[in-house]
Amino acid sequence: MAKVQTVVTAKDTGERLTPKDAIVFSARVGSGSADVEIKPEQEFQKMIGFGGAFTEAAAYTLSRLSSEKRAEVIHRYFHPVEGLGYSMGRVHIHSCDFALDNYTYVADHDTELATFDISHDHKWVLPLIKDAMEVRGGAFTMLASPWSPPAWMKTNGQMNNGGSLKPEYAEVWARYYTKFIEAYGKEGVPIWAVSVQNEPAAVQIWDSCIYSAEEERDFVKNYLGPVMHQTGHSDVNIVIWDHNRDIMVERASAVLSDPEAAKYVWGTGIHWYGGEEFDKVEKVHDLFPDKHLLFTEGCQEGGVKLGEWFTGERYGRNMIGDLNAWTEGYLDWNLVLDETGGPNHVGNLCDAPIIADTTTDEVHYNSSYYYIGHFSKFIVPGAVRIGFTSEAEGILTTAFRNPDGSIAVVLMNESEEVHSVTLGLGEEIASCELSPHSIVTHLIS
């Protein structure tokens, strides 16, 4: 009989990634099918991993805690067994909104990039990444994203409030990415991929820069792709879009249907702020099956939501929806924020899975932390999504087979009712109960 490890998080029971009596598989009686039938022979995408963003806000907030509390948070995220097992990360190329201010790595009008210097990141960001690598036991699959070129390269003369890249600086800006890759590499932090631009369709009051679909296509085709190749960085992947699902089909199509641009592009990055349109994620996969999909950012907006349950369910719903639509990795936004939901240099306060109260040295683990763990702790890098059929009304499901052969099945109940679900695998069947507002992972070996 299959051996099972069962872990539960539920709103009203106090269970938080809590091991439970495992479900028991036994031989099927009769020919009826289970509510959820696992189909290991059907294989889909391979998982890269899960992670979060090493923003300046997160790193600075952790630096304001006692060394014990800072170490606890790093352990709870990055330890492969006792933490969430994060293996991915995201960094911002100079400032973003979750930085203490606007900053760049070069002097104004230095088109040679002779003054390029990442010493700013030595204060908080790089020490956090290095400490996390030590706990993880290796490097991260790291995405680097710019929020804006330096002000002097832009049409509006500032990093904030949109504007766009002046065409005469396209080649200099492309070289800027390679300088960043090299500088981080020298620090022992390899960059796995860069996105062209964070949220290129949004004029924000913080660091932002607009690209039309055609502008993004041409920048990749004529500048970023060729420059990365010329400078020996063809092994660093390029991710386009890095924005919401709502118009991702149009944006991905504009770039990927041009073979001269597409040859440089690894895949499409997505955020969750524009609605839960998972069909559009799948559509991009169907149109461009040789390209990849990566969830690059999501968070709960509107400041700290301490103790709320809907935030965890938002994560669970989005993760299941995107994973079932061919997404290969999941990057949360800020790893940690302070008691205000910042710092953020324009006051765009948000929530995070871990909130650190810098006034009391307390660390709060939100529901989102536990919901993410139901995936990241049990679906390891290299896991392959497998098929399932479901007749379980109101239960969200995904399933993966890990490299060691174990199968992780995640079931989520957003309703106010207890749900009983039968799970079928091959010749065996098991039944399990889901509490109201709960998520459960069964690891079957």
Q: Just list the catalytic residues.
A: 199, 297
CA distance 253 to 225: 18
Write out the two tokens for 111.
Answer: 């088109």
Does an H or E element contain 46, and which?
A: strand 36-46
Cβ neighbours of 141 (radius 10 Å): 22
Q: For strand 419-425 and strand 428-434, is the pairing parallel, antiparallel, or unpaired? A: antiparallel
432 near 398, Cβ under 8 Å? Answer: no
Place of tokens 């900053």: 103
User: ω before 381 within 30° of 0 (cis)?
Assistant: no
Does an H or E element contain 178, and which?
A: helix 170-186
The amino acid occupying position 246 is: D
Radius of gyration in angstroms for the set of CA atoms belonging to the chain, rounded to a whole number: 22
- Residue 207 DSSP SS3: strand
User: What size, in residues, is the chain?
Assistant: 445
**Helices of type H across 324-445:** 367-376
Cα separations in angstroms, 203 against 167, 413, 441: 19, 37, 40
89 near 51, Cβ under 8 Å? Answer: yes
CA distance 410 to 407: 10
Write out the two tokens for 123.
Answer: 């204060």
The sheet with strand 336-338 has its strands ordered as 336-338, 354-357, 362-365
Cα separations in angstroms, 221 against 61, 70, 208, 224, 264: 39, 43, 21, 7, 7
Cβ neighbours of 310 (radius 10 Å): 15
By CB atoms closer than 10 A (0-12, 13-18, 19+), residue 355 is buried
Contacts of 340 (CB under 8 A, 6+ apart): 303, 304, 349
3-state helix, strand, coil in the chain (%, to 5): 30, 30, 45
Cβ neighbours of 167 (radius 10 Å): 12
